[in-house]
Amino acid sequence: MKKLKGTYGECRFCDNMDPDEGLPSLTEKSWDLCLTDPPYNVNAKPHSQAKHKLTHDIGYNDNIVNWDEFNYNWFNNIIRIVKGLIFTPGNINLKWWFEHTNPRDILIHYKKNGAGYTSMVMQNRFDSLLVFGQFNRRFMNNVYECSLDNGFLRLPMDLIHPHPKSIKLWFEIIKDALPTSVIDPFLGSGTTAEVCESLGIPWLGYEIMEEYAVDIDKRITQGQTKYAEIHFKPPTTQKTMDCFGRES
């Protein structure tokens, strides 16, 4: 199994339900927070900017054959493993999740520049995030206003993944949740990895498509660079003063 390591965590390229390396192998309440973006099962297609980057034999797949079983498997394992869970269900799937689970809260991602260019975007202006479990602090904000990273705002990195999550949104949520560790069973382009690397938080990700290793590697490096910029402090020159407070 291929693994991609950063300073504070690693991505495992396998099915997150793998019995040896996946979620079933992790112990109960061994991780603090799960922040993730699972498939929406809406047959989403890559936008035009990403189509030419994907290989024809793999492509981007958002179709899950056994949808109910798929959700039960990853959700029940994550709830066992983590103290708190936050994820984007896709607005079209909110009814399913409220009928089959019991969220404690809901967060809103408000997008001023929201505009649907794929079937994945069901509401132009907002996305919902469901909240389960316990957290190290009370959320002071239920609405996160973060513009989409598309058009002129698109990430500066040339990513293969067609739908990377908002780095600003992920950063704000993790900053508010104050987790000691983060797991993401659907790592995708590696947004979770980048944020955790930049903040020095232990993380673990799963991604079934090795094709996205290029993206994840770039984002780990980007996070490491941000961490160095945040934590590096140039040495200060010690100043001496005379009895009148003048530099000597």
Question: What is the three-state SS of 99-164?
Answer: HHCCCCEEEEEECCCCCCCCCCCCCCCEEEEEEEECCCCCCCCCEEECCCCCHHHCCCCCCCCCCC
Q: Are strands 143-145 and 105-110 parallel, antiparallel or unpaired?
A: parallel
pLDDT of residue 63: 74
| pLDDT < 70: residue spans in the chain | 43-61, 113-124, 148-157, 232-248
For the entire predicted model, the pTM comes to 0.83
d(CA 158, CA 4): 19
d(CA 152, CA 82): 37
Phi, psi of 9 (to 5 degrees): -170, -170
Element (H, E) at 34: strand 31-36
33 Cβ contact list (under 8 Å, min separation 6):
82, 83, 84, 85, 86, 135, 174, 177, 179, 181, 182, 183
Burial class (CB in 10 A: 0-12, 13-18, 19+), 221: middle
Q: Provide the residue ranges of all domains of the chain, joining segments of one domain with +.
A: 3-231
pLDDT of residue 57: 41
Which fold, 3-231?
Answer: Rossmann fold (3.40.50)
Structure tokens of 180?
């000691």
Burial class (CB in 10 A: 0-12, 13-18, 19+), 126: middle
Q: How many CB atoms lie within 10 A of CB 218?
A: 18
DSSP code, position 14: S
pLDDT of residue 197: 97
DSSP code, position 88: -
DSSP code, position 83: E
pLDDT of residue 44: 53
d(CA 98, CA 226): 38
Structure tokens of 108?
């809103």
Q: Which of 29, 32, 28, 36 is nearest to 130 (CA)?
A: 36
